[in-house]
A and B are shown apart, each in its own frame.
Chain A
Amino acid sequence: MSDLARGGKQKDNAVLEVRRRLATWDSIIVLLTVFVLVVASFSVTNFGTSRNFTFMILDLLPIVLVALPMTFIIVTGEIDLSVASTLGLASSIMGYLWNQGLSIESIIPICVVVGAVLGAINGFLVTGLGLPSLAVTIGTLALYRGLAFVVLGDGAVADFPFTYTGWVTGTIGDGPVPNVLVLILVLAAIFGVILHATPFGRSLFAIGANAQAAHFSGIRVARTKFWLYVVSGAVAGLVGVLWTLRYSSARADNGAGLELAVVAAVLLGGVSIFGGKGSLPGVLAGVVLLAALQNALRLQDVSGQALNIVTGALLVLSVLLPNIATSIRTTWQRRKLRRAATV
């Protein structure tokens, strides 16, 4: 009898565990992403083709790469809205240096370093002077984009060598798998391992959950945040290079507004805007969901600007829905407790 009861209880626990796992936002988002992909490939013409797959990967390339360090920053409870402007400034500098006759091999590391320096400025203002990251990065959003226009004006530089532009848009062995997918997978794996399997990754969650407690348990909060901004800037600089090569065009307004898509994807992936919560697989699913939705709508001739309604709405919903779910759960629990009390 007692054995039976225990077995039943264990089974109950297992069911609860599975239900708890399934009910977390990241797994919901993964399932939703799979659902959207399946539905779209059956109902949207040309969605499931290998050619479209290539284009989708190229479209999500800038979002996913910038989203990796952004996940780290948001997990620590900060934000970086200047990434798209850093990308634009890197692109401008790339065009300027190419016009000056430098080789691509030397331009690429310069752009990444420029990105890192721009990130370090953000990091210094946030951690060195203790300013709020939201206000700082709104300021540098305007500053870096403005400098991008100062460097290159409103013209474009377009004559980049095919060896490089071709690599970014090309596929492995002329198959459907784009070259850049390798880059995405390698970087995602590195960031994923760091966040979920190292003490450093755990310390990021600790900082986001309670920066003061993290400080008192020996985590160097300011130094960690500073380096996160440097990495964020460096990645944005690299993406500026990739963006320029993909469209074979260096322009000051490259990537304008990308910060919205990135923040939307990260929040959609279950990272809490208040810090301390989130997972990298969730973020990757968020990026794919966003890209798949946009791609499917575009195939049905929805204009690019109208797509912004979807991105904007997803951004709001990604925070709103978990909040609603939590408040429903608490009212439900309260009612259950009240019922238990009256019995």
Chain B
Amino acid sequence: MTATATAPRHLLSGLVKVRELGIILALVLLVGYTAASNPRFLSGQSIRDILLNTAILAVMAAGQAVVVITRNIDLSVGSVLGLSAFTVATMMSDNPGLPMVVAILVGLAVGGAAGVLNGVLVRYGRVPALVVTLGTLYMFRGVTYSWAGGQQVNADELPRHFLTFANDAVLGIPWLVLIALVVVGGVALLMRNYRVGRELYAMGSSPQAAELAGIKVARNLLGAFILSGALAGLAGVLFAARFGTVDAAAGTGLELNVVAAVVVGGVAVFGGSGTVWGAGLGALLLTVIGSSLTVLDINQFWQQAIVGALIILAICADRLVAVRIARSLRKKDSHV
């Protein structure tokens, strides 16, 4: 009796581990193959570039993972990144004396405000997250375009301390990577070990049950969208610092990569399962694929197609796992 009760739990936790192990295995194989055909792939500069590129994607993926775990989606993150990057770049070129902390706080605030709008429309307007964030994707981008027009902020207009931030390192680790690690680690911890994190999982597993169980669904949902928006805003600051040149098109289409990272990282689109840690690994895998294509001299245009194929592959895998679990549970039931 106890055996049948505990077996499914073992099975589930085993599968989650398998999922993340699978990504790590894919990473090892990909890196091994690419490095074998071109050893420069493992040079310090190349690894540094990969980590810097992963950092921005991973920060956004952490926020997106939380939203997807609640059985919602935030498609506006690419536009939020653009809005935040342009706001911060304009601010820094007008006031070169401002410290980096202010830039980061402004980025978080811009993104957080965008998240409030999304969250309020989803929760209180009872509009599906897909519709809301598809709409705000275009609204935020339109706002950035009508503000920026055709102009852009160039690297030579930005203060030095802002531009060197991306490359400055602490103990050999660039700030950008450090921030990404803290964000992914922090959000992962919050989701795994804290009450509010478990409540978010519960909301994703069954929204009605969560509401009946007395979970503050409105507050949590708003919090999830604000977190996703704020992290996209933070990513905007990192984007501006890393690339130096910012125009109204910054981050266009990035939402696809973010969703891909999250889904590939094992966060189920039905909500309620997956880890933030996995989403971070998904971001790393996508970035490594992009770099490998360059090193292996494969047409860059394949990258977007691969992103799409990976999304579909990941949902197929999730479905397969779900079907298998259901079948094994049914089999156990019939034996009892």
Mark A residues whose CB is within 8 Å of B.
79, 125, 129-132, 134-136, 138-147, 149-150, 153-154, 252, 257, 260, 263-264, 267, 273-274, 303, 305-316, 319-320, 323-324
Contacts and interface: CB of A to CB of B under 8 A. Distances in A.
Contact of B305 (A125, A147, A314): A147
B136 to A, nearest CB: 6
Contacts of B146: 303, 305-306, 309
Residue of B136, B138, B263, B301 most packed against chain A (CB within 10 A): B138
Contacts of A306: 142, 145-146
B102 interface: no
Contacts of B139: 308-309, 312-313, 316
Contacts of B142: 305-310, 312
A96 to B, nearest CB: 13
A150 B134 CA distance: 26
A138 B307 contact: no
8 contacts: A141-B256, A143-B307, A305-B142, A305-B146, A309-B143, A311-B138, A316-B135, A319-B125
B270 interface: yes
Contacts of B121: 316, 320
Given A306-B146, A320-B121, A135 B311 contact: yes
A153 B301 contact: yes
Interface of B: 73, 121, 125-128, 130-132, 134-139, 141-143, 145-146, 149, 248, 256, 259-260, 263, 269-270, 299, 301-309, 311-312, 315-316, 319
Contacts of B316: 125, 129, 131
Contacts of A252: 301
Nearest to B125: A320
B138 A143 contact: no
B138 A140 contact: no
A143 B131 contact: no
Residue of A79, A134, A146, A260 most packed against chain B (CB within 10 A): A146
Contact of B127 (A132, A147, A308, A323): A323
A142 B309 CA distance: 8
User: Interface on chain A toward B: helix, strand, loop, or mixed SS?
Assistant: helix
B96 to A, nearest CB: 29
A138 B256 contact: yes
Contacts of A138: 256, 259, 311
B138 A146 contact: no
B256 A142 contact: yes
A318 to B, nearest CB: 8
B305 A142 contact: yes
B141 A136 contact: no
Given A142-B304, A313-B139, A319-B128, 12 more contacts: A131-B316, A135-B269, A139-B311, A139-B312, A141-B256, A141-B308, A142-B256, A154-B301, A260-B135, A306-B145, A308-B145, A319-B125
B319 A130 contact: yes
Nearest to A143: B308
Contacts of A135: 263, 269, 311, 315
B316 to A, nearest CB: 6
- Which 8 residue pairs of A and B lie closest in terms of their CB atoms, listed nearest first? A143-B308, A146-B305, A142-B308, A146-B304, A305-B145, A139-B311, A312-B138, A309-B142
A252 B145 CA distance: 23
A154 B260 CA distance: 23
A267 B316 CA distance: 29
B298 to A, nearest CB: 10
Nearest to A257: B138
A268 to B, nearest CB: 11
Contacts of B259: 138
Contacts of A308: 138-139, 141-142, 145
Contact of B303 (A136, A146, A310): A146
B201 to A, nearest CB: 19
B97 to A, nearest CB: 32
B135 A313 contact: yes
